[in-house]
Amino acid sequence: MSAELLRGPYKEGFHDDLPVVHKVPKGLKHEVVDYMCDVKKEPDWMREFRHRSLDLFLKQGLPEWLPGLRDEIDYDDITYYVSPVAKSERRWEDVPEEIRRTYDKLGIAKEEQKLLGGLGAQIDSEMAYHNIQESLAKKGVIFLSCDDGMKEFPDLFKEHFSKSIPPEDNKFAALNSAFWSGGSFVYVPKGVKCDVPLSVYFRINAEQFGQFERTLIIVDDDAFCHYVEGCSAPVYTTNSLHSAVVEIFVKNRARCRYTTIQNWSTDVYNLVTKRAMLYEKSVMEWVDGNLGSKRTVKYPSCYMLGEGGHGEVLSLASADKGMWQDAGAKMVFFAPNCTARINSKSISGHGGRSSYRGLVQVRDQAKNCRVQVNCDALILDDKSRSDTYPVMEIKGDLATVEHEASVSNVSEEQLFYLMSRGIKKEEAISLIVNGFIEPIVKELPMEFAVEINRLINLQMEGSVG
Amino acid sequence: MNQTAWQRYQQLPLPTRRDVDWQHFDLRGLKLDNIEKRAQPVTVKLSGKVPTGVIFGELAKHRDAAKSHLGKSITIEERHKFTALHDALWDNGAILYVPRDVRVTEPLEVTYDLPNHGSASFPRTLVVLEPGAEATLVQKFTGSPAVHASGTEVFVQRGARLHYVSMQNFAPTTYDFTLKRAHVAQDAEVDWVIGMFGGALARYDIECVMEGRGGTSFMYGVGLGENKQQLGQFTRQHHQTGDTTSDLLFKNVLRDQAVSNYTGTIKVEKDSNGTNAYQSNRNLVLSDKVQCDTRPILEIESNQLRCTHGATVGRLDDNQLFYLRSRGLSLTQARQALIEAFLEPILARIQIESVREEFSRLIHAKVIR
């Protein structure tokens, strides 16, 4: 049996010639930080923060458990700030035409009217567009680029920024903290329910470039918000870097859902830190779909700070040729009576590698916590690889922790059954794979579920049985 | 002294809490100064009926018989400091050599008595079962050495079968570092049960290497921790060949301020289709001061296979306790019954009644009080 690409043809691999409004010389330099601060007219505390973060990045090593990456990325051969736009617009018509064209090709703008409460579009380092439906704005919902958030709501911003992920947290958080640009700033006031998702699309167009978006989401008491992000990049022969930091604060009894459909080209190293702080009786749900990139290192996490919180990670990884999906989840319990669930599904094919890496940590003060972890992996051929690296560290006798994982191929029995019903082998495999990922796909908004099914499109034509 | 191993021991750094494998362990009580001068000669007590042709005795007295396999598993490549220490300083131990097609029906038992406080002991054990052979071996480690670093090399050749029970019940002052590795050939089977009861710290590396098609390995273990005892279990099911099966279950009961770290790896190499591997670690925690870590790891590079694992950490079930008490059992009796039931699947794997009873006695003395 030989399958074609696991991921359908990569339609987003084009690149456009865009105007250059800002571009700095390559390399890790303090001058770049100064240039960015000047252009962005940032307060002194941010300038100091960025410089300190760059020093931390240069000092910090990579953790021992994270293989590869040591010599793979030449940090001096990357451009840290490139922008084809001068500022983030609130009307689509005001966005420069070339950029609108790029987004039209990606089919982004059309979606807005249909299903979204707000839309943001980032190209390279800066947000080109950020807009929210009037009805939500009237309720006090804030949806801005992170840079604008800092300027327009300095107190709210400063109170939360880098409080859950300080630059000391890890090497890539330090890198992001030094060069962050773009991303979203979201605030949902007390009791407000954002029924329609807020969506942001991240596009890399430049070559040998580093995108460092920074997102800060604050969901106040009893509020609800669903944030959706997508991304893509052109296919070059050189590598790019995407290193985001996403901080979420889910206040008392609030709920937040964060959905990612990561579809980078196989030139992109995707090294992302995502963390949610959960207060009393709050709920955080990460729906994390990783379908692209050369190497993804991402473990969305929930820190249970208030009693009775619930954290959930649904992770779907598909590692095709040339990809290593190093995805997973972290659940850290600081408070009693919290629950969490991690459900991870991965598919490896055509020499791809997928790894689940997870941490469940129950601290001293956390009593009566329950965690359930399920990891299932499917390996489609013998060139591919699958790993499971869970860590569970439990203090005390009042937690209940369960972990289960399995790795298998497409079962002969299931194939035989479907084929005996007159279904062709290629279709049968496709059905089995779709059935395997179904529990995660059904959690996605409809349009994204359709997109996933398109992306994980098994093309088995002309295969040899 | 093996000079190369000694050099390696000296080169390898002492583990710190930064090492993932050691992060909750406290090694401050471990005294390694002049360790090479503190080594005591190892003596073994042997019992059991030995059929003709079978060698069962002190390793030092059977160097010739041991020659073909000794040091073939534990080599200079070992990455642990304490394995290198053992390899550098061991001088005696036990050997069981069963020739082709010989079936030893009665269990053979070897006891390593290592009595001295402050001393160090480094026993080596070699077990070779030639094709078609069968044997049952019981290994017991007791006494109160300050440092104990032992190694056991097991070779189960084509179609041979070994039932192997190993237990340690050191004094609460002993630091025990143990490596056991079995090489399982075509159609061979090894069936292990391991009991970890004593010591200030006991770190066991338990590995099976599946080298031939049709090979099977069952690895079962129980660990009990009380007071400030520290338990480390590092298991590895290494499938180098396809059509092999490995099954693993390690259960721990932890009370007081015990610390435990289970790290288990199933490694399936390329071209090992037909592998069937299972790994399970279950921990029962009886006190809120216990630190219990578990890391079940899978590394899979073949696709026609099935690998599954599971790990749990939990306490006694309130509903079950309530039920038993409603049937007239006291709280203590109910807890006893549930702990016994929790460990029963391990004890049931021991085929020798007297050894099973000894395990049961130790369990009662340590955790069912």
SS (H, E, C) A257-283: EEEEEECCCCCEEEEEEEEEEECCCCE
Taking CB atoms and an 8 Å cut-off, how many pairs form between chains A and B? Answer: 118
- Within 8 A of B295 by CB-CB distance, chain A residues are 389-392
Mean pLDDT, to the nearest integer, of A202-215? 93
Check if B299 contacts A (Cβ < 8 Å).
Answer: yes
* CA–CA gap between residue B194 and residue B206 (Å, rounded): 9
Continuous H helices in B151-241: none
**What pLDDT is recorded for position B77?**
84
**What pLDDT is recorded for position A116?**
74
**pLDDT-derived band at A112, boundaries 50, 70, 90:** low
Give residue for tokens 């074609």: A4
Check if A1 contacts B (Cβ < 8 Å).
Answer: no
Tens digit of each residue's pLDDT (9 = 90 or more) over A381-438: 889 999 999 999 998 887 888 888 888 888 888 889 999 999 988 888 888 888 888 8
Which structure tokens are listed for A349?
Answer: 């094919």
Mean pLDDT, to the nearest integer, of A290-316? 95
**What pLDDT is recorded for position A464?**
31
**pLDDT-derived band at A113, boundaries 50, 70, 90:** low
Three-state SS at A428: helix
For residue B294, what is the nearest residue in chain A, using CA coordinates? A392
**pLDDT-derived band at B171, boundaries 50, 70, 90:** very high
**Percentage with pLDDT > 90 across chain B:** 84
A249, A160 Cβ separation under 8 angstroms = yes
For residue A357, what is the nearest residue in chain B, using CA coordinates? B297
Q: Which of A282, A286, A231 is nearest to A257 (CA)?
A: A286
**What pLDDT is recorded for position A455?**
63
Domain ranges in chain B? Answer: 3-315
The helices-and-strands tally (H runs, E runs) of chain A is 11, 24
* Cβ-nearest to A392 among B286, B290, B293: B293
**What pLDDT is recorded for position A1?**
33
**What pLDDT is recorded for position A101?**
86
Beta bridge partners of A405: A375, B309
Mean pLDDT, to the nearest integer, of A115-125? 84
Q: Which residue has the higher pLDDT, A451 or A25?
A: A25
B315 contacts A391? CB cut-off 8 A = no
Tens digit of each residue's pLDDT (9 = 90 or more) over A258-278: 999 898 999 899 999 999 999
- Mutate one of A333, A394, A433 to test the B interface: name it (highest B CB count within 10 A): A394
A386 contacts B314? CB cut-off 8 A = no
Tens digit of each residue's pLDDT (9 = 90 or more) over A152-207: 999 999 999 999 999 999 999 999 999 999 999 999 999 999 988 898 999 999 99
Three-state SS at A405: strand
**What pLDDT is recorded for position A117?**
78
Buried b (16+ CB within 10 A) or exposed e, A253-287: bbbbbbbbbbbbbbbbbbbbbbbbbbbbbbbbbbb
- Within 8 A of A393 by CB-CB distance, chain B residues are 24, 291-293
Q: Is the pLDDT of residue A461 over 50?
A: no
Which structure tokens are listed for B162?
Answer: 């070994």
* CA–CA gap between residue A409 and residue A411 (Å, rounded): 6
B271 contacts A393? CB cut-off 8 A = no
Q: Is the ipTM of this complex over 0.85?
A: no
Q: Is the pLDDT of residue A104 over 70?
A: yes
Give residue for tokens 């991402």: A298
Mean pLDDT, to the nearest integer, of A209-225? 96
